[in-house]
Structure 1
Amino acid sequence: MKHAHPTRPQLPAAALATLAAVLLLAACSRERADTWQGYVEGEFVSVASPFAGRLDTLSVQRGQQVGQGAALFALESDDERAARQQAEDQLRAAEAQLQDMKTGKRPVEVEVSRAQLAQAQAQAQRSAAALRRDQRQYEIGGIAQAQLDESRAQAGSDAARVRELQRDIDVARLPGRDAQQAAQAAQVAAARAALAQAEWKLSRKTVATTQAGLVYDTPYRLGEWVPAGSPVVRMLPPGNVKVRFYVPETVVGALRNGQAVQVRCDGCAAPVAATISYVANEAEYTPPVIYSNETRRKLVFLVEARPAAADAPKLRPGQPVEVVRQ
């Protein structure tokens, strides 16, 4: 006698479609082993002046892309301009004094000395003639010894005056002594250094970018007082954008600097290529007592990757991303 096999129940078509959809959704929800979650981070550059002052000019605004060397802001600089002018005047005075030492007295001053010498020579000639007359008179008894002594002293004094003026003219033609010139040259060097310092202080009141990037924030408004060293503009250069993500302990050994990854984000038209720039040597989470297979799965390591400068503007700090190993 043949036994009839029981008939296997058939699922309705609608139930089969529902089950297939659930299985497909579950498969899609499972994360790939080489895909990790992370976020974008920016290393901001705070641009400030080393000196305090009122904010007179703000040449940029938030969200603006600026190139290298673009003007950012300027603080009031009246005091610095006055200090530079003073330093320039002091330098010119020191240089003129040094030049005067090198050339000796001016021609007009030498001419005055020559005129004085001519007068002295004429006086010396008169005194010498008077001494000769008195000498003859004394010999014949016409004058006393006292008058002859007075004539002899006057002639000697006038002759000494002539020699003095001749030496003055010779000295007037000579430059200043070496020691005097060296001292004045040091004064000129000090004046130049003071001018350079004044110009440096003035230049620091007007600030420009040292590299291209995004103007992320401008904390001050025109007319506000800015303390020394307080950031007036916060910049985000393209090279300072990076992606931080965490990988499990089983994967970290296969990652290295220079390795290529892809960064995916909501709203990105296409994946952004990036290069791993840092792999942490220590885990972010360490079990409290001992390692086990269960706790080891909880170990994660920080990894950082940087996109190319051209792709950096596509990513924004704080934006969640998905990183895929290539």
Structure 2
Amino acid sequence: MNRKRSLLLLAAVIAVFVVVLAAYRLRNSNIDEGIVLVSGNIEVRAADIGFKIAGRVTERLVSEGERVGAGQVIARLDDSALVQEQALRRAELRAAQAALAELEAGFRDEDIAQARAAMERAGARLDELLAGSRPQEIAAAEAAVRNIRAQVELLKIERDRQMRLLKTEAISEREFDRVETEYDRALAGLSETEEKLKLVRAGPRKEQIRQAQASFREAEARYKLFQAGHRAETIEQARARVEQAEAALALVDVRLNDATVEAPLSGIVLSHNVEPGEYVAPGTPVVTLGDLENVWLRAYIDETDLERVKWGQTARVTTDGLPGKVYDGRVAFISSSAEFTPKNIQTHKERVKLVYRVKIDIPNPRLELKPGMPADAEIMTHADD
């Protein structure tokens, strides 16, 4: 009886040993097989594409799921105001360039000659005023007065005769009015001529001389300026205005270019966030592009596997959504710092609280793997490919 009991006890011990050994081997099967199992989610390299300036969207040329190439136009803003401003800035630049060219060329010979002639005329006029009235001018003015007085006397005699004829009704009032009008005109001419004689006898007034002096100085300064040419600082100021106009035009050109947004990379439109007619601020995402042809798996390994997993090791990736399909991957990143296990990630060794993030690049030419898909990967630790 005791022998039988001893055999049963021995069999039980052996059974426990076998179970423990099997569990140990199962738990360390990754080490034995040179494989580290990880789980995670598929992610893509995504970029939010937006405008650098604010404005109203007139066109969005791509939709979700559409494949786009690098440099392809994604959307456009209303650029009508910028086009008008560009035309204005170009006109300002042309005007500034023309002004600079004129200054650099200097004055023409005919301009200098005209300035000299104007100065000489102003000088002659000033000399004339400073010299006063000549005797010949006074004599001519007196002779003019005598001539007009003689005409007035003759017209007065004729007027008186016509008046007597009118009283006897020998002539009409119309004929008399004609003679009287001529007489009145002669009287006015006499008054004007006598006034001129007074001015000639009195000579030029001081204000006339001062005005003539100012005119001469102005004409002389203009002639000297034309002779010397433009000052260097004047030309530099004109050159600065050209540079300022060029900068203003360049700024408008940049803003006009920024009214069109292009894809910086080839990829798939993951989402679009605005519609034509909406007003967007700078940096507002218009679309989100993702490189679905080259996805990656975000996974985590524990500290015990850290020494075994190396950069560049190959991996076999599978996902429940695509049963039977295996995708080749390669370890592209291993974090150097530990972190707590994410709540949505479960490693094969759940008792380890601190894990290290790894990134496995996966070619996806058929676009079968989608962002967010859960996936598993077997990292081949037995060879470095």
TM-score of Structure 1 vs Structure 2, range by shorter chain: 0.5 to 0.7
Alpha-carbon distance, 1:295 to partner = 7.9
Separation in 1, partners of 2:47, 2:55: 21
Residues 38 and 322 in structure 1, CA contact (< 8 A), matched pair in contact too: yes
Residue matched to 2:328: 273
Residues 57 and 75 in structure 1, CA contact (< 8 A), matched pair in contact too: yes
SS at structure 2 position matched to 1:38:
strand
CA 1:186/1:164 → structure 2, altered by over 3 Å: closer, same or farther? closer
Separation in 1, partners of 2:353, 2:118: 106
Unaligned runs of 5+ residues in structure 1 are 1-26, 128-149, 151-157, 287-293
Separation in 1, partners of 2:323, 2:316: 12
- Say what the alpha-carbon RMSD is for the aligned residues: 4.1
CA 1:225/1:295 → structure 2, altered by over 3 Å: closer, same or farther? closer
Aligned partner letter, 2:55: G
Judging by fraction of residues, say which structure has more helix: 2
**How many percent of aligned residue pairs carry the same amino acid?**
24
Residues 339 and 354 in structure 2, CA contact (< 8 A), matched pair in contact too: yes
From 308, 321, 334, the equivalent of 1:254 is 308
Which deviates further from its counterpart, 167-176 or 117-126? 117-126
Alpha-carbon distance, 1:301 to partner = 2.8
From 90, 93, 104, the equivalent of 2:92 is 90
Residues 103 and 174 in structure 1, CA contact (< 8 A), matched pair in contact too: no
Alpha-carbon distance, 1:268 to partner = 7.2
CA 1:114/1:318 → structure 2, altered by over 3 Å: closer, same or farther? same
Separation in 1, partners of 2:333, 2:102: 66
CA 1:231/1:221 → structure 2, altered by over 3 Å: closer, same or farther? same
SS at structure 1 position matched to 2:340:
coil
1:1-326 equivalent positions in 2, closer than 5 A? 34-106=36-108, 108-116=110-118, 168-169=222-223, 171-172=225-226, 174-238=228-292, 241-265=295-319, 266-267=321-322, 270-280=325-335, 281-285=337-341, 297=352, 299-308=354-363, 311=365, 313-326=367-380
Separation in 2, partners of 1:299, 1:110: 91
Residues 292 and 370 in structure 2, CA contact (< 8 A), matched pair in contact too: no
CA 1:121/1:210 → structure 2, altered by over 3 Å: closer, same or farther? same
Q: How many residues align?
A: 273
Alpha-carbon distance, 1:302 to partner = 2.1
After TM superposition, what 4+ stretches of structure 1 lie above 6 angstroms from structure 2? Answer: 120-127, 161-167
Q: TM-score with structure 1 length normalisation?
A: 0.68
Residues 272 and 311 in structure 1, CA contact (< 8 A), matched pair in contact too: no
CA 1:66/1:113 → structure 2, altered by over 3 Å: closer, same or farther? same
Residues 259 and 275 in structure 1, CA contact (< 8 A), matched pair in contact too: yes
